Chains A and B, each alone.
Chain A
Amino acid sequence: MSWEVVIGLEVHLQLATRSKIFSGAATAFGAEPNTQACAVDLAMPGMLPVLNEQAVRYAVMFGLGIGAEIGLRSVFDRKNYFYPDLPKGYQISQFQEPIVGRGEFEIQLEDGSTRSIGITRAHLEEDAGKSLHEDFHGMTGIDLNRAGTPLLEIVSEPDLRNAEEAVAYLKTLHSLVTYLGISDGNMAEGSMRCDINLSLRRAGSTTLGTRAEIKNVNSFRFVEKAIHHEIERQAEILEAGGQVVQETRLYDADRDETRSMRSKEVANDYRYFPEPDLLPVVIDQAWVESIRATLPELPPAKRQRFVSDYGLSSYDAGVLAANRALADYYEAVVEGCTDAKIAANWVQVELLGQLNRGELELGQSPVGAAALAGLIQRILDGSISGKIAKQVFEAMWAGEGDADTIIAARGLQQVSDSGALEALVDEVVGGNPAQVAQYLAADEGKRKKLVGFFVGQIMKLSKGQANPQMVNELLNKKLAAAGSDGES
């Protein structure tokens, strides 16, 4: 039987504010336990929340980034549940009147095609603390540093149809929020956490099947694996004539499986009501417009500009525009060397290759944009070949200096002196009489292959430094001359 997969994602994004959403405690990652949990975060009696303006600004920036309606009036509610890492016994969230309404954005798939995915809403809320279940004499340890960290919960429409689209959605979202600078997007540190709502229905059906929710999946790869696993699990149940139970499941990366956390029937009853300690949040359109004016060029616009101004393929433009720092680096290289396509190639292949091998961030690259542009200039002006340039790049990576220094120190300058090249051509042609005879006897097609042989020998003899274009010209002349000598 053929099933259609229906996926909606809820992403909890930590906003990059300095202080918490409702208190003046710090939000820095990695501090000693409970050193950033103040009286408000600990729910001490009498403490009242005061809303952080920057959190509101970041939410508005996100809304503008996805072309959503901005809630000029939004309301905070209490979401009630008991857990030790939630000292108040409720989470302050937004339920009926969120700050960001419906919007959408385009995701780009591996094959370069795009799909538009709806965003239902995004709302502000506070994070909970952390429970540490290691053994503390049979007790649980609670760290409330994270309690009160501002979150933007971004809820997608059930528009996604497979794991690839879900991952593309998350990557696009990640790219957008880091461009906007509203979150560091660090998944390993929990700055972007994802809940997956997944159900199956018969192909062609328009009603939704019963869904399961998979909580807290924290990397692109785990999202992909969790989805594959869950599709298989639900298909097995349905094909055996069973029913999927609506429940919350947890993805276990070590065992690559999802398992039931708790039945959602009881747990789901959060008894929301308006938060009496906070007044409605009212923002004016002028403020929204002043925020709009500060937005940077966003990935879709940048991608299009890279295609139209630099002549890049849609795929290459997508790779380079996906990360703001990378896009800035790339544009600096283009400015320095003036050839956008060669620059794109070097940034994507050599630079990203080295960064991946060294597991480095772009900011840690030992070769800056200006230095890379300097190297590309030496290819463009014929000083070195593309192949030698890779050697030079490796030396630059190892910290041996800029391109010109390395080319001079290692004597890598391309040989374009016709006298010197002619001597090399003569040596190779003279030293391989059998191949010359073969060449002269061969037809047009085979001759090309044999030319390749001679060029290879000459390049080897010159240690790769001979100017290939000139070698070709000289070689063709020489071989033509050998042919006419033979005939006379």
Chain B
Amino acid sequence: MTIQQDEIEKIAELARIRIAPEEAAELTSRIANILTLVDQLQAIDTAGVEPMANPLDAVQRLRADTVTEANQRDVFQAIAPAVENGLYLVPKVIE
């Protein structure tokens, strides 16, 4: 499996990670090395092996549908950079 630099740049963009142009080539070769390890894993015959969703041999506990959390807005908003009328303010999102 090989990976191209433009794919690395796209993944970085999706993950909102800034990569300096001079870093991109080196990063591409390092990730390509990791992917050779993945190639080895993928060569293993997994027919009949059930996909694993979680390494713990347990199932999800369910909680009762009751309201247990009180309003703590003031505490949370005390550490927020900007709030107004109870809202958190963030840089303008334009869709």
Contact = CB atoms under 8 A, between A and B. Distances in A.
Contacts of A314: none
Contacts of A32: 73, 86
B63 A143 contact: no
Contacts of B14: 80, 266, 269, 271
Contact of B90 (A34, A37, A84): A84
A34 B78 CA distance: 13
A120 to B, nearest CB: 21
Nearest to A54: B65
A154 interface: no
A24 B68 contact: yes
Nearest to A56: B62
A138 interface: yes
B25 to A, nearest CB: 23
A18 B73 contact: no
B22 interface: no
A59 to B, nearest CB: 12
Q: Is the interface of A mostly helix, strand, loop or mixed?
A: loop
Contacts of A44: 76
B46 interface: no
A52 interface: yes
A33 B87 contact: yes
B76 A42 contact: yes
Contact of A75 (B53, B56, B85): B53
Interface residues of A, number: 54
Given A34-B73, A80-B14, A274-B53, A53 B85 contact: no
A140 B93 contact: yes
Contacts of B62: 50-53, 56, 281
A97 B54 CA distance: 13
B35 to A, nearest CB: 16
A127 to B, nearest CB: 16
A140 B60 contact: no
Interface string B35-67: 000000000000000000110101111111111
Nearest to B77: A34
A78 to B, nearest CB: 12
A281 B63 CA distance: 12
Given A142-B88, A282-B60, A18 B93 contact: no
Contact of A280 (B15, B54, B63, B66): B54
Nearest to B66: A19
A26 B73 CA distance: 13
Nearest to A281: B60
Nearest to A270: B14
A38 B93 contact: no
A52 B93 CA distance: 32
Contacts of B56: 279
Interface in A1-34: 17-19, 23-26, 32-34
Nearest to B93: A140
Interface of B: 10, 13-16, 53-54, 56, 58-69, 71-73, 76-77, 82, 84-93, 95
7 contacts: A24-B69, A34-B88, A52-B65, A53-B63, A139-B91, A278-B60, A280-B59
Interface of A: 17-19, 23-26, 32-39, 42, 44, 50-56, 75, 80, 82-84, 97, 131-133, 136-144, 261-262, 266, 269, 271, 274, 276, 278-282
